[in-house]
Every structure is written in structure tokens, then in C-alpha cells.
Amino acid sequence: MSQVDNQICTTCADPTELEPVKPKRFKYRMAVLSAIMLTLGIIVEALNFDVLIVYGVFLISMLSAGQFIIPRGVQGLLKLRLDMHFLMSSASIGAFIIGAPAEGAAVMFLFFISMLLEERAEDQVKKELWGLIELEPRSATILVKGSEACIPTSEVKRGDILIIRPGSRIGLDGVIMNGETSVNQAPITGESVPVPKIIGDQVYAGTINQEGYIEVEVTSESNETILSRIVELVEEAKNKKAPTEKLITRFSRKYTPVMVTLTVLLGLISLLLGSSITEATYRALTLLVISCPCAFVVSIPVSMVSSIAGSAREGILVKGGVHIEQVSKTKNVAFDKTGTLTEGILAVKEVCLHNNYTKSDVLTAAAALEQMSEHPIAKALVAAVADEDFQMREVDRFSAIPGLGAEGTIGDITYLVGNRRLLIEQEIELEKLTEHKCGVGTMVYVAKNHEHLGTIILSDSLREGAIDAIQELKSMGINSTMLTGDSEIVAKEIAEEIGVNHYMAELLPQEKVKAIEDLSASGSTVMVGDGINDAPALAVADVGIAMGAVSSDAALETADIALMQQDLRKVPALIKKAKKTMTIVRQNITVSISVKLVIGILAALGLVNLWMAIGIGDMGLTFAVIANALRLVRKQ
């Protein structure tokens, strides 16, 4: 453990560990050598050099690239699994045998280039994932007996105190114990604006301390941080294939043997129609090259993984390509109300007074009876008394009435605080709220000595961006529904304010599940909730989206997709990205099949040579579909 005095701890790791994609220098050198020898071969052939020299130069070109292809083709043949490596090896070697070494070398070189392009695309996606991994510093400065020590983050334990200076990246999840600052949480949540942080606030590994000195008590070790969980889940998502992707994989396994058979038939038919053995073989080899499904097979996985990686950069964690495809079909989006469409924090909206009592009489009595409770309503009542600067009253006797409210005495007077049913059961005459022009919301009734003092109306504020999200969904033609266990009156007011198409009120958890099942009958349904209370509904929906997963481990486990930030505008953004992903997938499939089909027909007619087959039908096509797919990595 090295002592550090007044320095920023940078890294204790070997710098080579940080490199996500090691340069494939040897492969690149072989590609260059193959290109040089191919060019040289064309020159010596044009200058009428000895045929052995010409063949030798082209053979070096072919083997320089073929050393990465031919062995895999032979392995496939031995296992009776004919793949693209077998196709290209057969075409290249066959071209040499029939006296077309230039074409044989070109086939191998250009296919090798297409392989490198595919690897480059995979590397690009890996860089996105490694970009997340590299967000977590390899070391951290901690307080040890009053002095500072720089140690690897893997050795930091819960309860250790991190020292985070301005401009430093926060090494582990924790709670601020000293100081205040603003933190750039964009790498985790996608938020563009730094978030103010004070003592008691949570901070996350990989985020950046903008301006103030803070001391943070570690709450999660290096393998338990939100960031490490995100990386782990994104890695797992790469292996969860979408239905379309699985279909293409199954198709490609049967496609290659069929094309090999057609190639042989083409050669035989050409011979029967009078072509020479060399011409018939050349035509068959051209079709063999064109039949390589490289572009076709790579187009979907590259598109899906690019979309998943791009979404992760925007604070949207998608757990597999299957969910991307399902989201693209969305017809309905169902939202939980409390904590999703609303902030989930109740506040006193209004106090409706009855029988000539004052606001102070009502609020202080209610707060006094509820001050020991942790219920959100109780917290709202206590906060309202503090805001109004009223004097909190002392309760002499208190008893809870399950499902109804509470009873207590202040002085010699008995008070009741609870729902409407409590006062009805106590045979207390209720004042009609309509006569007092009270608003709507969650209502708390207050009475004393069998007289109705007043009704406290609490409400929950709408989440920022909720109205924008609903309007965006409407513009996309997607139905929005609000599901809540709250009363019909409260639900109707929120639904009208926020603009959802439909709402369902007074639902129990099992009734939310039934509502989702009914919605799913009319089309693919997405459920958006907090990931904990809405777990059954999230599970039964076609796709479950958890809100604010950065603050809930359960949300990361429950839902198919997790929004790291509590921003509902990311829901329509996700749907748009999913639709764009599937559009690109369809484009890639259509282009791949169309180009292969056209060039295949031309090859069968003898109108296409090996150069055109590999240059357009394989390498060029592979480059086009990969470039199209990588657009999904870019941040929208």
C-alpha cells in the first residue's frame, strides 16, 4: 500500500489491462503482404514472366490471407459442417487448379478483407462495452488512520472512506459523508446535466466529481457496483438472440450445403451444354463464391449488438436482442402511476375546513397522531406542519386502527385521523366536500369528539417529462394506459392532466396483471414500473421496463429493460431506436438476398467473373451491411 500526500490517485493497474481491443498487427501485415503479392502477380503475368513465377507470386498472396481461412474450411469439411470458409477455400484452390491463379488469389485476399471488416465491426462494439468498463478507476484514494493511501479498487471494502477531488472519477458506489459537489452521471444514466450532491446522497462508480471535494463511504465493493452490474448484463445480452436472428442462424446452416449442391449441378449442366471443363468449373466456382452467406449472416447480430451498446451509452440497459425486436412491435404502453408517472412523494395540496375549525387545528392534530409513522402520508403531514411553522402537539395516548387510520388523545380530547370509512364506522357526520369546493386527491379525514374538523387533501406531483413522453407516444400511434391502485377520483385527475388514452383505478397487484394480459391481446404491450412493486405486471408484459434502475438492484433483475435515469422520455426514444434497428435489419437482409440473387443469376449465365463475385457479392456487400448496422452505436 503506497502512501500518497495531497495527490490525485490515478491508477495502480498495468496500462495494458485497459486496452479493450488489441491490434491485430499480424493479420493486418498479412493482408498488406497479400495485397502486394497480388498486385505483383498481376504485373508479372502481364509481362509474360515464366508461369512458375506467376503461380508462385499468386500462391504467396493466396496463402498469406488463406492461413486464416483454409484451416477453418478443412475443419468444417471434416466435421461435415460446410461454412463460408470452406466455400472460399474451395473456390480459391479450384481457381488455381483450372489455371486462374489471379482469380484464386483475389478471392482469398478479398474474403480475408471482408473478415477483417467484420472483426473491425465487432471491435467497435467491444469498445463501447469496454468504454463502460474503463469508467471504473482501477484504484482509489482512501483514508487510513488520518492519512491517504492509494489502493486498487478491488481491495476497497464496504465502510472505507474514499477521497474524491474535483475532476476525479468516483471509484465505487457510496454515500457522501463530507462535502458537497455536482456529479456528471452521464456515463451511467445518460443525464446531460450534472446532478447536485450533498451529505447523505448516493454517488456511483464511473461518474465524475465536477467541482467540490467530497468524502464518500463505500457501500458496494468493486464487483457489486451498479456499473459492474450494467457491464455484466450487457455482456449477457449479447448472447440472447432475437427470433429473427435465430431464424437466420438456422437458415444459414442449411443454406451452405444446398448452395454447394447447386454449384456442382451448375458445373455438370454447363458441361452437358457444351462448355469446356475449365469454363464449367470456373462458372461453378463463381457461383460458389457468390453463395457465401457472410454478409447475410453477420448483418443481424452486428445490428442487434450495436443497438444494445448504443442504448447502454444513453442510459438504457437492454437485456437482449429479443427485447429490441419485441419493443419494435409495441402497440400499447402501460404505466404504473405512483413513482413512475408521478414522483411518488405525497404533499399536502389543500386543507378543507369544516365546522369553523382552522387549518392549524386540522394539520397539527393529524400530524401529532401520525408523527411516529413511516408512511408517506404521515411524512407529508409532518412536513406540512413544519412548512406552515405550526407548533407540533404532544399525544398522550395513541392506538393504530388497521386499514382505517389512528386514534389518540391530545390533552383530554380524543382525535381520529384516517380514511372516510373510519369516520363512517365511528358514526361521525361527514361534511360534504362538494359544498366546500375542495380539490381531489388522497384524502385524510380528521375528527375530534365525534365532530368532523376537516379533510386534508394530498397529491403527488407529475414526473418531469411525463407529459412529453405520453404526447410522443400518441404521435407514434401507440396507446398509453395508466394503471393504479389509487381511487377513481385521483386516477381520473392524473389521467386527464397527463393525457393518457386510458386509465384503470383501484387495482390490486393481481388485477394489474390481468389488465396487462388484456392489453397484450390487442398487440405487443410494454409495462413501465418501478421494478419492485410492479414485478408481477412487469413479468407478464411482452416487455417490462424498470424506471430509475440506478437506485434499485431489484429493478435490474426484474425487468427486460432498465432505464438508469427516471426519465420517461426515454421510453418513446427506446421504441424509436428499436424500430430503427429492425428497419436496418430488414434493409440488410433485403440487400443481401437481392444482390446475391442477381449476381448468382448472372454467374449461372457466365456473365460474372470471380473478381466481381468476391468484390461485389461478398466483400462489398459485407462492408455495406456492417456500415449500415454501426449507425446504431452512435448516440441519438
Beta bridge partners of 152: 139
Q: At what angle do helices 466-475 and 488-498 cross, to 10 degrees?
A: 70
Give kind and range of the element (H or E) at residue 142: strand 139-144
Comparing 204-218, 296-310, 398-412, 564-578, the range with the smallest average pLDDT is 296-310
Q: In this predicted structure, what is the pLDDT of residue 64?
A: 94
In degrees, to the nearest 5, what angle opens at C-alpha 45 toward C-alphas 43 and 47? 70
Beta bridge partners of 414: 409
Here the CATH number for the domain that contains residue 161 is 2.70.150.10
Average pLDDT over residues 8-22: 39
Q: What are the catalytic residues? A: 336
pLDDT tens, 329-371?
999 999 988 778 988 778 888 898 888 899 999 999 999 988 8
Q: Which of 407, 432, 461 is the last residue of a domain?
A: 461
188 inside domain: yes
Q: In this predicted structure, what is the pLDDT of residue 5?
A: 36
Comparing 311-320, 446-455, 579-588, the range with the smallest average pLDDT is 311-320
Residue bearing the bigger pLDDT, 241 or 444 = 444
pLDDT tens, 170-218?
888 899 999 988 888 766 665 556 788 889 888 888 888 888 899 999 9
Q: In this predicted structure, what is the pLDDT of residue 17?
A: 37
Residue bearing the bigger pLDDT, 434 or 99 = 99
37 inside domain: no
Q: Residue 576 has which C-alpha cell? A: 424509436
39 inside domain: no
Taking the C-alpha atoms of residue 438 and residue 142, their distance in angstroms, rounded to an integer, is 56
Q: In this predicted structure, what is the pLDDT of residue 6?
A: 36
Here the CATH number for the domain that contains residue 452 is 3.40.1110.10
Residues in the chain: 636
Percentage of the chain lying above the pLDDT 90 cut = 21
The answer on pLDDT for 228 being more than 70 is yes
Taking the C-alpha atoms of residue 246 and residue 301, their distance in angstroms, rounded to an integer, is 10
Our CA dihedral for 60, 61, 63, 68, rounded to 10 degrees, sits at: 150
In the three-class reduction of DSSP (H, G, I as helix; E, B as strand; rest coil), residue 507 is classed as coil
Spell 422-452 as b/e; 16+ CB within 10 A means b.
Answer: bbeeeebeebebeeeebebbbbbbbbbeeeb
Average pLDDT over residues 255-281: 83
Do 140 and 173 touch, CB atoms closer than 8 A? no
Q: Which of 177, 192, 224 is the last residue of a domain?
A: 224
Do 283 and 275 touch, CB atoms closer than 8 A? yes
The count of domains in the chain is: 2
- Phi first, then psi: give them for residue 218, nearest 5 degrees: -70, 130
Q: In this predicted structure, what is the pLDDT of residue 7?
A: 38
pLDDT tens, 92-142?
888 788 777 887 888 788 778 877 876 776 666 566 556 655 666 788 888
Question: In sequence order, which residues have a C-beta less than 8 Å from that of residue 435 and are 6 or more positions away?
Answer: none
Q: What's the mean per-residue pLDDT of the chain?
A: 81
SS (H, E, C) 110-129: HHHHHHHHHHHHHHHHHHHH
The answer on pLDDT for 536 being more than 60 is yes
- Residue 144's closest CA among 288, 352, 2? 2
Q: Which of 224, 254, 279 is the last residue of a domain?
A: 224
pLDDT tens, 46-70?
888 888 999 999 999 999 999 998 9
**DSSP state, residue 430:** P
468 inside domain: no
Taking the C-alpha atoms of residue 191 and residue 174, their distance in angstroms, rounded to an integer, is 19
Taking the C-alpha atoms of residue 132 and residue 135, their distance in angstroms, rounded to an integer, is 5
Comparing 15-19, 321-325, 468-472, 522-526, the range with the smallest average pLDDT is 15-19
Q: In this predicted structure, what is the pLDDT of residue 183?
A: 87
| Strand-strand pairing, 525-529 and 161-164 | unpaired
pLDDT tens, 375-394?
778 888 998 999 888 988 88
Distance of CA 370 to the CA centre of its chain: 42
Percentage of the chain lying above the pLDDT 70 cut = 83
What secondary structure does DSSP assign to 219-253, as a single string?
Answer: -S-TTTSHHHHHHHHHHHHTTS--HHHHHHHHHHH
Q: In this predicted structure, what is the pLDDT of residue 8?
A: 42
Give kind and range of the element (H or E) at residue 537: helix 535-540
Taking the C-alpha atoms of residue 512 and residue 500, their distance in angstroms, rounded to an integer, is 17
pLDDT band with cut points at 50, 70 and 90 for residue 14:
very low
| Strand-strand pairing, 332-336 and 316-318 | unpaired
- Residue 565's closest CA among 337, 172, 230, 276? 230
* Beta-carbon count within 10 A of 175 CB: 14
Do 114 and 34 touch, CB atoms closer than 8 A? no
Q: In this predicted structure, what is the pLDDT of residue 575?
A: 95
pLDDT band with cut points at 50, 70 and 90 for residue 11:
very low
pLDDT tens, 546-605?
887 655 565 566 678 888 778 899 999 999 999 999 999 889 888 888 887 888 888 778
179 inside domain: yes
Taking the C-alpha atoms of residue 584 and residue 632, their distance in angstroms, rounded to an integer, is 9
500 inside domain: no
The answer on pLDDT for 81 being more than 90 is no
Give kind and range of the element (H or E) at residue 612: helix 610-614
State the burial class of residue 592 (Cβ atoms within 10 Å of its Cβ: 0-12, 13-18, 19+). buried
**DSSP state, residue 340:** I
321 inside domain: no
pLDDT tens, 474-521?
999 999 999 987 778 778 888 998 999 999 988 877 788 899 999 999
397 inside domain: yes
Q: Which domain holds residue 410?
A: 343-461
